[in-house]
Amino acid sequence: MNERQRRVRSQSTPGLCQSVAMLPSTSCLLSLLLLPCAGGTVPSPQVRPQGCYVAEEAGERTFRCSQAGLSAMPTGIPNDTRKLYLDANKLISVPAGAFQHLPVLEELDLSHNALEHLSGAAFQGLAGTLRLLDLSANQLASVPVEAFVGLQIQVNLSANPWRCDCALQEVLRQVRLAPGTGTGIVCGPGARPDLVGQEFLLLAGEEELCGTGRGGARQSTDVALLVTMGGWLTLVVAYLVHYVWQNRDETRRPLKRAPVVPMRSEDSSTLSTVV
C-alpha cells in the first residue's frame, strides 16, 4: 500500500466512526416511531396532590389525603385502594361517580369537610364493597335517598345541620348508624322551628315526616281503613237505634180488638136447625 492510499484510509476512518456515533439510539428511534401514532403527545401519569400518599395498613392499600387543602376530588388514587381518607379538607360536594374507579373500596372518610351537597350517584359502583362511610362534621342539611340505595354500609351522620326531613328518615331505614353516633344527629336551623335542636332519632320514633313514600303511604292506608271501619260502625249503630225506637213505639200502642160482627136472624135459625 503506497503512501497515498494510507493517507486516504486514515482520513476516511474517523468520518465513518463519527457518523456511527451520531446515529440515534434504538430507544430514541422507537420513541420517534411511536410519537406520530400517539397523536404527537406523550401521556403523563396523574400527579398526586401535595400531602397525599399511598400506604399499606394492615396489609390493605390505603390512600391518605387528610388535611391536604383539597377543594376537589384528588387524582392519582390507585384502583386497588381499600381505604380512602379525604377528611379535614375543603370539599363542598361529591359529584356523580366520584369513586366508581375504585372497585374494592371498603372505607371512605369524608368527615370534617364543608360538604353541602351529595349527588344521587355519588357512591355509584360501591354497592358491593363499601362497608364504612363517615360524613360527620360537614354542612349537610339533607341528602338524596338514591345515594344510599343498595349500599350495605355503616354510616356516621353526626354533627351536620340536618333539616330533619323525609329524605333523612328514609336514609336511616336503609343504612346502619355507626355505634355511638345516633345522638349527634340533631335538627339544624333549616328544620321546622319546633324541631330545631332535637335529636332526630327520638323525633323519628314519634313523628312520621314523610307525607308520601313508604311511610306516608302506610299511614294513609291506615287512616283510610279506620275511616271505612268507622263509617260501617256508624251505620250499624244507626240501624240498631232506629230498630229499637221503632219497636218501642209499637209496644206503646194499645192493642186493637177484633170487631164483633152481629149475627142475623137467618144465621141464628140455621144454627138452631143444625143443632
Domain for residue 63, yes or no? yes
Range with top average pLDDT, 39-48, 64-73, 240-249: 64-73
Q: Would the pLDDT of 189 be above 60?
A: yes
Range with top average pLDDT, 37-46, 133-142, 196-205, 233-242: 133-142
Q: Which residues contact 212 (CB under 8 A, 6 or more apart)?
A: 166
As a whole number of angstroms, the distance between CA 261 and CA 191 comes to 90
* Residue-range definition of the domain harbouring residue 202: 46-209
For residue range 21-35, list pLDDT tens digits in order: 444 444 443 343 343
The CATH number of residue 168's host domain is 3.80.10.10
Q: What pLDDT score was predicted for residue 207?
A: 75
Domain for residue 39, yes or no? no
Q: What pLDDT score was predicted for residue 238?
A: 83
Q: What pLDDT score was predicted for residue 41?
A: 34
Average pLDDT, the chain: 78
The total number of residues shown for the chain amounts to: 275
Domain for residue 259, yes or no? no
pLDDT bracket for residue 37 (50, 70, 90): very low
pTM of this prediction exceeds 0.75: no
Q: 64, 53 in Cβ contact below 8 A?
A: yes
Q: What is the mean pLDDT of residues 119-140?
A: 97
**What secondary structure letter does DSSP report for 191?**
S
Q: What pLDDT score was predicted for residue 31?
A: 42
* Better-scored residue on pLDDT, 219 or 244: 244
Q: 159, 187 in Cβ contact below 8 A?
A: no
Domain for residue 172, yes or no? yes
* Better-scored residue on pLDDT, 29 or 74: 74
Phi and psi, residue 107, nearest 5°: -130, 135
**What secondary structure letter does DSSP report for 122?**
T
Number of domains present in the structure of the chain: 1
Q: 78, 48 in Cβ contact below 8 A?
A: no
Q: Would the pLDDT of 68 be above 90?
A: yes
Domain for residue 93, yes or no? yes
Which ranges constitute the DSSP H helices of the chain?
3-22, 26-37, 166-172, 200-206, 213-252, 265-274
Q: How many CA atoms lie within 13 A of 32 on its CB side?
A: 6
Q: How many CA atoms lie within 13 A of 247 on its CB side?
A: 6
As a whole number of angstroms, the distance between CA 182 and CA 13 comes to 87
